[in-house]
Amino acid sequence: MKEVPYNPGAPAIQLYFSYYKDDNEKFLSVYRRIKILTEAGKKYADAEIEIDPGESLKQLMARTLHPDGTIVEFQGKPFEKTLSKKRGVKYVAKTFAFPDVTSGSIIEYMYRANCLPSKSGCASIPIRESCKCPLNGALLRPGRGSPMHT
């Protein structure tokens, strides 16, 4: 794929997105796969994972897949970036850069974070990306005692 049929000139396209949140076990897991179509799409090589207060990033795996089949694994550790401070609460993101990204590369990452259970019993799915795609998979498991729990 070199171009998005419904959006010619798009810099990148998200090929796959999966989100799983389990309120009983207090974790969430996200997997994302993005194809870089143009030089402008390389901005997606700088990833940012928002971590809510009280949550922590426990596992991160990321890699760049080149058109010739070579794979470059992310070997570093993510940096913590302060997004905002409100009423004594600090909102942060874990940030990292994919290695050796070029036009035609596919970047993918998976992370797992410990999280707080949803207060409403129904977690939200964070879809705020400018790199659009259909939602490929989402599974929410509400906590015990939640109005959504079966």
Tens of pLDDT, residue by residue, the chain (150 residues): 777 888 888 999 999 999 888 878 888 899 999 999 999 999 999 999 988 888 889 999 999 999 999 999 999 999 999 999 888 888 899 999 999 999 999 999 999 998 776 554 444 455 444 444 444 444 445 555 544 444
Rounded Cα distance between 37 and 48, Å, is 20
> Model pTM?
0.76
Q: In order of start, what are the domains of the chain with their CATH numbers?
A: 12-117 (2.60.40.3140)
Strand positions, DSSP E, 66-105:
71-73, 79-86, 89-97
Rounded Cα distance between 127 and 143, Å, is 22
